[in-house]
Structures are given as structure tokens and as C-alpha cells.
Amino acid sequence: MALMKLDDFDSNYVQTFEGDDVKGFGVYTEAEEKIGSVSDVLVDEEGHFRYLVVDLGFWIFGKKVLLPVGLSRINYNTDRVYAINMSRKQAEDLPEFNDRTVADYDYEERVRNVYRNSYNTPVDADYAVSTPEAIGTTGYRNFDRNTYTYDQEPTFFGMNERDHQTFRLYEERLIANKTRRKAGEVAIGKRVETETARVSVPVEKERVIVERTTPVDAERIVAPGEADFREGEVVRMEIYEETPDIHKEAFVREEVTIKKVVDRDTVDREETIRRERLDIDTDGNPIVENTDRI
């Protein structure tokens, strides 16, 4: 996989590195000769620093080259990067890097070979004996593109303590986070209750009352032909009564709506935190420049 620029890997890298940004640092030889400045950083797919992109404006105008991070010494106090054993010959031999350059294995090999020839990187003895065909005509190891790792050349890519040592001061901070936990549960259901209900319905019933009375002229003799004797004369009268019709019907009594609301509160807490301060002890009258980068 080709290398990528630092800000392409992490657009917030300045915050990630707590303000430590080497871009813009001046690049010097160990003899304090300025040869250019850092214009960018190339990282691998895991974000490890692999090369500093050095603009050689002071040596070769308009040319940018790659400097393996292991061959640099970064001084954050003075905003300087020292290129270890960098020579003008190396700068001239290195392939140019620009925005269109694809930093793949083949390009890196062109860069690394310049430094290998300059540093005469030794071959591991066991490797040379076991795989003599992998040793090039120069007597130095030829690497397999399929198995190459940066750890195989710690001189170029190792972040050694001597050249990259930083003294960090630590402090504690209160970090406020929230965790969501289950505080309880509300179960809402329904059950059936029974009770005895009473209802009163007034009903009417008809009944027949037969009244028999003695007329005033009882015992009067009627004239011949006045009496009309007929057999089978019947008077009919319909009788009605009301009967109760009582049954049960279901009705909607009420509706229940279930919802949740969020109540917000602020929890305050105090803790004692610690911070390291830098104490500088001097012996004699040395000149100490304390550059505060915070």
C-alpha cells in the first residue's frame, strides 16, 4: 500500500499530537547548516511516521525529497529537524517528490537505495548465508517486495531515543462521560374485574276485572218479545303484559396512551487532579532557553 500524507490520514492530527506539528520546521545538517524545511510527513496505513518531506529550497531550489524518520533528529524546543549525515550528494541523487508522486514500494526503493549506498547498510550474516541469491552485486541485501517491513531497516525507520527523545510533562484532567443503564421497568397491562350490577325495570301487566251488579229495575217484568235470548254470545278482550329485556353490552370506557419523557439534570463533582511542572536546576552560569510551547 502506498504511503499517504499525514493530514490525509488524520485531518485533526495537530490535536491528536497535542500541538506537536513538525510541518514548517527548519531542516539543518548536524553542522547547523540550514538545507530546507519540512513541508509534509508521510505515514503508513497504521499512521506510523516513515518519511519527512523536505523542501530543499536552500540547497536545490524547488526540489523536495524524502528523509527517513530514523535519519532525523527532531528538536521541538527550537522547531528544528536535524538530518543525520545528510550530504548534498544524497540530495542530488534522491528522486524528486511532488504532489503527483505515488509513494509506493518501487518509489521507496529508489529512495532507500540512495541512503543504503550512503550508509553501506550491513547485511545480516545469517540471512546472507541462508539466502545468498538475495544479496545484490553491491554486497548489500536485496529485499523481497512481498515480505518487506520497515522493521528490517531500523537505521532508517527506527524512532530511537537518542534522536527522537522528548521529555513529556503529564497532568491529570477530569473526563466526564455518561453511561446509560437500566433504572427500572414499567409494565402496563389490563385485567378483568367482576362485580354484581343491579338494574330496576318497571313492567306493566293487564288484568281483567269482571264486575257483576244488580240493575235498578231488577225484578221488572219485561214485555213479550223484549227479552232476546241467544246462546253462545261471547265478549273477548286482549290482555297484555310487559316482560323485562335485560342483557349486557360492552362500551369503550377510556383510552390509555403510553409514552416516555426525558428529565435532564446536571451532576457536579469535584476531584483533586495533579500536574507535573518542570524544575530546571543549573550549576554555574549556563544559558538556558526555556521555550514554552503550551
Q: Which residues contact 285 (CB under 8 A, 6 or more apart)?
A: none
- Here the cell at position 27 is 531542516
Note the pLDDT tens digit of each residue in 96-129.
Answer: 999 899 999 999 999 999 998 877 654 443 433 3
Q: Residue 13 belongs to what H/E stretch?
A: helix 13-16
pLDDT band at 39 (very low <50, low <70, confident <90, very high): very high
- Measured CA to CA, the distance from residue 47 to residue 69 in angstroms comes to 13
Residues 187-221: tens digit of each pLDDT:
888 888 898 888 888 988 888 888 888 888 777 78
pTM of the model: 0.50
Q: Is the pLDDT score of 261 beyond 50?
A: yes
Three-class SS state of 114: helix
Integer Cα distance of 114 and 36 in angstroms? 19
Cell numbers 492530527 correspond to what residue? 13
Q: Tell me: the pLDDT tens digits for 60-81? A: 888 999 999 989 988 888 889 9
Whole-number pLDDT of residue 114: 92
Closest CA to 27 of 66, 3, 107, 99: 66
Confidence of residue 165 (pLDDT cuts 50, 70, 90): very low
